[in-house]
Amino acid sequence: MSVLQIELPDEELQILSEEARAHGYTDNAEYVRSLLRERRSQPKSYSVEDNPSPEQLVREERLLLEAANSPRTESTPELWAQLRAELGSRGGETG
């Protein structure tokens, strides 16, 4: 196994240690390894530079066309309040 040594500001090291403990890890290295495993298991997101597959391009084009042809909704303060309330009920930030 290889060793990775990094320097972190004290504040970031404290945050890392607190997160590791909060998630039940015995040390920071174990927590970092679990974060890497979790990241690798997630579907890869891509940017314009990543050359998406033809299937991805077709899907995105279809979604864009659906959105362009969908009924319009006026953006009002009431609509935004409703959306924030719905997001908040899902556990998201409403900041």
Domain-by-domain residue ranges, the chain? 8-42
Picking from 69, 95, 71, 68, the residue whose alpha carbon sits closest to that of residue 84 is: 95
Question: Is the distance from CB of 46 to CB of 55 less than 8 angstroms?
Answer: no
89: helix, strand or coil? helix
- In angstroms, the CA 16 to CA 21 distance is 9
The tens-digit pLDDT sequence of the chain (95 residues) is 888 898 999 999 999 999 999 999 999 999 999 999 998 888 776 566 667 788 888 999 999 988 888 888 888 999 899 989 998 887 755 55
Model pTM score:
0.45
